[in-house]
Amino acid sequence: MRSLPLPLALTARLTPVAVLACAGWALASGPETPSAAHDAPRQETGRQSASGPSTTAAPKTYGAAPAPCTSLGKKTIGSLVPGAKTAGKEIPSSDSDERRTCSWNALDGYDYRWLDVSFEVMDSDAEAEKSYKARVADRSGGGEVPGLGDAAYSVVNLTTEDDQETREGVVLARSDNALVIVTYNGSDFESKQAPSTDEINKGAIKAAKEAMAALEDGGSA
C-alpha cells in the first residue's frame, strides 16, 4: 500500500493517544465533572429507626464503568474497523469508575474507519436520564433506536474538508444510571467519498447493542 497524505481533518485521528484523549472523544460536551462526593458507590445504611427516617440511599444498578476494550467481540471489531488491533486502546480518564472509553482505528487500503465505545456511570437513574436528554436535545436529524436500553438515539452527519468527505454516526443509549456512547466514522481516501449513511448508522448501532449487552451482563454493582 502506498502512503497517502491525509486530510487535515483526519490527521489527528492517526496520532498517538495523547491526541486521542483530546480528539477521539467526540462527545466532549458530555456531563459535568462529578464531584468528589460521587467517588464511591452509595451504600444502604439500614432500616428506618424509631427516632426518625433513615438516610438510606437508593442503590445504584451500576457501581462502576466496565472495561470498554473488551465490550465488543473480535468479529465485530474486524467487521467495523478492518485492520485494527482488536485489543483497542483505552483513553486515560480522570475517574475510571465513572467514565471509560476505548478506541479502534485503522487504514485498510484507502478505507479509514474509527470507532469509540464509552461507558459513563452516574450517581442515580435520574442524573443519567437528565444527561441523556440534554445530549439528545443538542443534536438534530437523528431518531430513536428501539430495543436498546431504557432509551437510545442515533444520528449520522457528513462533513467535508479539502474535498474529503467523512461520515460519522453517534449512538447515545441509557440503562438505569449508566450511559453507553458509540462514535463510528469513515472515509475513502481514494474516491474522497464517505461510506453510506446506512453503513455508518448500522455499524454504530451494532456496536452500541453489543456494548450495552456487556454493560448489563457484567457491569452490575
* Bridge partners (DSSP) listed for residue 159: 166
Q: How much is the pLDDT for 81?
A: 98
- Please report whether residue 52 resides in a domain: no
- Please report whether residue 2 resides in a domain: no
The count of domains in the chain is 1
CA distance linking residue 196 with residue 185, whole number of Å = 10
- Please report whether residue 103 resides in a domain: yes
CATH code of residue 161: 3.40.1000
Q: How much is the pLDDT for 190?
A: 96
Task: Tell me the HSE value of 209 on the side-chain side, using a 13 A CA sphere.
Answer: 11
| Residue 218: burial class (beta carbons within 10 Å; 0-12, 13-18, 19+) | exposed
- Please report whether residue 102 resides in a domain: yes
Mean pLDDT, 10 residues at a time, the chain of 221 residues? 46 42 39 40 37 59 95 97 96 89 97 98 96 95 96 98 97 98 98 97 98 84 41
- Please report whether residue 45 resides in a domain: no
- Please report whether residue 153 resides in a domain: yes
Cell digits for 122? 452516574
Q: How much is the pLDDT for 56?
A: 57
- Please report whether residue 67 resides in a domain: yes
- Please report whether residue 171 resides in a domain: yes
Residue 66 belongs to domain spanning? 8-22+61-218
